[in-house]
Structures are given as C-alpha cells and as structure tokens.
Structure 1
Amino acid sequence: MPATFNHTIIAAEDREESARFFRELLELSEAPSWGPFTNVQLADGVLLQFAEPPVDIQMQHYAFLLDDELFDRAYQRLCDRGVEHWADPQMRRTGEINDEHGGRGVYFKDPAGHAIELITRPYV
C-alpha cells in the first residue's frame, strides 16, 4: 500500500470551538472523538484532531483545496463573520483574495491563531 496522509493534531486553546469553526466553514460532518481529541474528518478520510496542549501554541500553516463552489460559500462565511483575511501570506493585502496558480486563494487565522489557506487549484 502506498503512503497516504491519515491525520494531524492541531493545537487549540478551545478544541471544541476550533473543530466547530472548521466543520462550519468547510461544511464537514462531525467525526467520532476520543480522549483529548475533538475530531473533524475531511472527505478523503483525513482526520483533523484538535487538542488543548499543556504548552503555548505555536502558529502552524494549514492549506485546504476546495472546489470553486465551496470556496465561494466558505469565503462568504468568512466575510459574514467579519474574519480578517488576506490575499497573501505576508498579510499585506487585507480584505482580498488572490488569483494565483490558475485559481483563487485566501489566507486567514483560525480561532487558535493558526494561518489557514483556502485554494481552488493545487500549486503543482
């Protein structure tokens, strides 16, 4: 069997809030959770496991590939909620999206302060 990506643990100050944020933004279903994890499952089976670590949270970057229709809905939800967002990872083009790599993209921070990117076309 070839290697595939299975799960990642995402540090969150409030694991329930972070999981709910991603479920609502990306239109994901709830997944069974256990122990210190509140889980969200992507369509390809990958689990995002939110946990409240006993240490300071360091910002990480997570990028999600969406089709155009889901991107439009997710972007509208960001705007409706007043989530600050940028067209670039340097956070200089506030309130914009980009049209790089033949698609569209946007950057913002999740409730735990992680840098999130939504794109409609893969980079490679």
Structure 2
Amino acid sequence: MANYSKSLDSAFHALADPTRRAVIARLIQGPAAVKELAEPFDIGLPSFMKHIKVLEDSGLIGSKKVGRVRTCRIQPKQLTAAETWLAKQRALWERRTDRLADYVENQLAKETKT
C-alpha cells in the first residue's frame, strides 16, 4: 500500500501543474519530440525540461533520445492507477450522497405524514 500511495502522490503532484497536464493531453494523441511539446509554452527549454523530468519521475511519461531528439510518450499504467483511484473515490462519494438523499426523502415523508 505504501508504494501504491507514493506512486499516486507522485502522479498527482505531476498532474497538479497546468503545463504538465497540457503535456499529458498532447501526448495522449501520440508521441512527440520535446521541442514540439515545448512550442506552445512561453518558457525556456531548461525550465520546460524540469516539467518533463517531473512527469518522467512520476511514471506518467517515458522518453527516448535518438541523436539530438528526445521523444516522449505516455506510460498508461500510471495514468490508469490514478484513474482507478479517482473512480473509487467517486463511487464512495456517490454512495454517501445517495444515502443522504434517501435519509432526506425519508425525513420529508415522515414530516408529511404528521
């Protein structure tokens, strides 16, 4: 459980930044060179590479360098783990809100009977 939690912490930390989320959104379409990924952002390449490193360290993306070109791609396993965790949380809260709705409806029904 501790490794799973640490892994999720790393993934959510990486996804907390809008630049990194935009990189993930682009890579969902397919692999891309770092230079291509950096184009939409008004930051220097060294700063952008820090974002790439955070994404790689979190396991959300992987990269491979061929010659002078570093190409990045999504690592779906880590995205799936984050999605699974979110789905479990959503199901938990939906059950709780359903129980609350049932309780309120029962209370209203009791009040209308009296």
- TM value normalised by structure 1: 0.27
More helix by share: 2
Q: TM (normalized to structure 2)?
A: 0.29
